[in-house]
Every structure is written in structure tokens, then in C-alpha cells.
Amino acid sequence: MNQEQSIVILTLWNNVAESEGGVIDENDEDFPIIRASGLAVSPHYGGSLGSTPSTVILVNPQIPEAENLKNWRQKNLKLITEAVSAKYHFTHSDSLLDVPTNKICAIADGIADNRVDKFLVRVQAMVTDPDKKFFYMSCEKCFSGVDADFDYPYMCASCKEFTHAKPREKILFNIFDGSGSLDVTAFGKHSTELIGMSASINYLCLGAPFPLESINRSLSGQHYIMKIRKRERYMGDSMHHQYVVLNMLLHKAMDNVGCSTAITDATLSVSRELFPPGTYTNPNNLCKHVTFLV
């Protein structure tokens, strides 16, 4: 949607969908501003746009045109929300709330089926390596990894924007069902949902004992429906698979009245282990870097 309130559907494909599309998806509630070039025009929906191999998309770019659109967005949030909601047929949901049982497979079957690169599983989860950092330093605009210290200014090689290095959530954990187990990686909000801590909290607590027992107690007995992506990775001449969480939902969370309270209690328990009473840092000094869970 632009300032003239013209709404078109934009479809992203392949690598663009996985990279820039993931950034847009994580920020969709804030109506992110994008700058795109190399798009294809389609007659679908009365005129729509789609990505091509030459498409370049920048999310929330630091350019004058974006600042103008940002100011307009801030003044017209209600108008934008109503206009987008009216285009209900443009909305695609990747919700797992109503996934048919026959779409869910066992972990062993998902691993063995070479015809698919994505599969759904119903699993339990456990964090097994307390020595991991559970975050990585990334570009604050496109989330590409960078070997740099916190807040280090640099020109990102991926999005070509001047940016600062910020911690982003990343967790390697184990999922299991009756058929077997699998090590998978979760990024961003999915990582936070599992361990109850943002990347900023993990960064501030780097070097402190990780509250593995509290986190695994909160995960114990919980079942998740997860959409897993399977990707081939080559190290020298050998090939291995990498498994990444694309979406996840606490199974039957809508029906479990005690679920929210249990997770909140577990998160508070983790917080107490990280910051024992009397050792809290002044919140005014943390606001720039810490994302609080509510």
C-alpha cells in the first residue's frame, strides 16, 4: 500500500521469500516499509507483483522516500489497518491452528522423504547444549550474520545498507517424538518463544551460567506443532541436512487454559536465576538493548 492508498499483492519466491520475506514476516505487525526493484508484473488480482531472480528488496531502508512514507504511516495507522483488512482475499495465513492430522508426519518420515523440503511434525522440545550463546551478531536491517562487536557500525554486504551489529536470537535444540529425534535451529521470535529470553538478554548475560534446568522444566510435557524446512548443506565434498523451524505452535494452546500461566511462571523462574534479587541493573540503562517479554 502506498500513500495514494493503492493496494497490490506482492508474491515472493524462492530465496527472496526465505530471506527478505522472512524479515517482512517478522515485522508485519509494524507495517514495514520496503523498497523493491526487478519485480515482475502479473494480471492476477487486477494487477499484482512478484519477485524474480534479479529482485532486490530492502526492508525499512534509510532513504528520504522511506522517511516520508514512515511519517505518513505514523499519522494514518487506523486508515492503513482498515484498508488492508478490507482486502481479506489478499491475506495468506501460515497458521498451524487448523492443520489436519493427516498433514503431520513422524520425524523419521520427514527426514527420510527426499521428495519434500518442508514437513510438519508434532513434537516435544529440549535444549541440550548450555554452552551455546543462543544469539549471533547480525545486521539490524536484514539479519545477515556478521563477525563484529555489539553496535559496531559497518556497511552490510547483503543489504548494502549502513547498519550496526545487533544480537539476534538463534537456538539449536532437540525435538523428539516416538519415531526419533532431530536437532533443529530456530531464529527470532520462535527462539524467544522456546527459551523465554530475547537475544538482548542473552547478550547481557553472556558468561553467566545458563538456566538450562528451568528452561527444560518449562518445555517438559509441552507438545508443539512445528513446520520444519530441510536444506542441503555442503562441507567440502560431504553433504548434510540443516533443519530450521519455519513456524511453530504450542499444540492445543487455544484449549489449554493453564498454558499461558505455566509459561509465564517458567519465564519468571528463568529471570530470577539470571538476575537474583538485589542484582537488577537499572532498567533505564537496559531499555536500549533489552526486549522485555510481557
Same domain assignment for residues 253 and 218: yes
CA atoms within 13 A on the CB side of 183: 7
CA nearest to 32, candidates 41, 21, 42: 21
Residues whose CB is less than 8 angstroms from the CB of residue 52 and which lie 6 or more positions away in sequence, other chains included: 38, 39, 40
Of the three residues 90, 114, 146, the one that is the final residue of a domain is 90
- What's residue 99's pLDDT? 67
- Regarding whether 107 and 26 lie in a shared domain, the answer is no
- As a whole number of angstroms, the longest Cα–Cα distance in the chain is 63
My answer on whether 141 and 213 are in the same domain is: yes
Shared domain check, 38 and 170:
no
- Alpha helices (H) in the chain, listed in sequence order: 14-18, 20-26, 64-75, 77-86, 107-112, 188-195, 199-204, 212-219, 259-274, 283-286
Residues 154 and 200 in one domain: yes
Total domains present in the chain: 2
- Looking at the structure, tell me whether residues 149 and 194 fall in a common domain: yes
Beta bridge partners of residue 183, listed in sequence order: 174
Q: Name the grid cell of 193.
A: 518463544
CA 102 and chain centroid, separation? 26
Q: Does a structural domain hold residue 209?
A: yes
Asked which of 60, 90, 120 is the last residue of a domain, the reply is 90
Look at residue 84 in the predicted model and tell me its pLDDT: 67
User: Within a domain: residue 52?
Assistant: yes
Q: What is the CATH number of the domain that holds 213?
A: 2.40.50.140
- How far is 195 from 173, CA to CA, in rounded Å? 10
Residue 1 covered by a domain: no
C-alpha cell at 285: 540503562
**pLDDT one-digit tens code per residue, 190-230:** 888 888 777 777 777 777 777 888 888 888 888 999 999 99
Q: What is the pLDDT of residue 46?
A: 58
pLDDT at position 67: 86
Give the pLDDT score at 258.
37
* Angle formed at CA 16 by CA 165 and CA 83, multiple of 5 degrees: 95
138 and 158 both lie in a single domain:
yes
Q: Which residues of 36-48 are buried (b: 16+ CB within 10 A; e: fewer)?
A: beebeeeeeeeeb
Task: Indicate if 149 and 258 belong to the same structural domain.
Answer: yes
| Tens digits of pLDDT across the chain (294 residues) | 877 777 778 888 877 887 888 888 877 777 888 888 888 876 655 567 888 878 888 888 888 888 888 888 888 888 887 776 655 444 444 556 566 777 899 999 999 998 888 999 999 999 887 667 788 899 888 888 899 998 899 998 888 889 999 988 888 899 999 999 999 999 988 888 888 777 777 777 777 777 888 888 888 888 999 999 998 877 777 888 889 998 888 875 434 433 333 333 433 344 444 444 433 333 333 322 222 222
Last residue of a domain, one of 63, 90, 117: 90
Answer yes or no: do 33 and 178 share one domain.
no
CA distances from residue 113 to 71, 102, 172, 202, 234 in whole angstroms, order as listed: 49, 16, 22, 36, 19
What's the full length of the chain, in residues?
294
- State whether 156 and 14 are in the same domain: no
Tell me the three state secondary structure of residue 248.
strand
* One domain for residues 247 and 129: yes
Q: Is residue 255 part of a domain?
A: yes
Are 125 and 187 contained in the same domain?
A: yes
pLDDT at 85: 64
Do the domain assignments include residue 199? yes
**Cα dihedral 187, 191, 193, 199 sign:** negative
Domain ranges, residue 125: 101-286
What's the sign of the alpha-carbon dihedral 55, 60, 63, 68? Answer: positive
CA distance 12 to 10: 7
In a domain, 180, yes or no: yes
Strand partners, 249: 225
Residue 221, SS3? coil
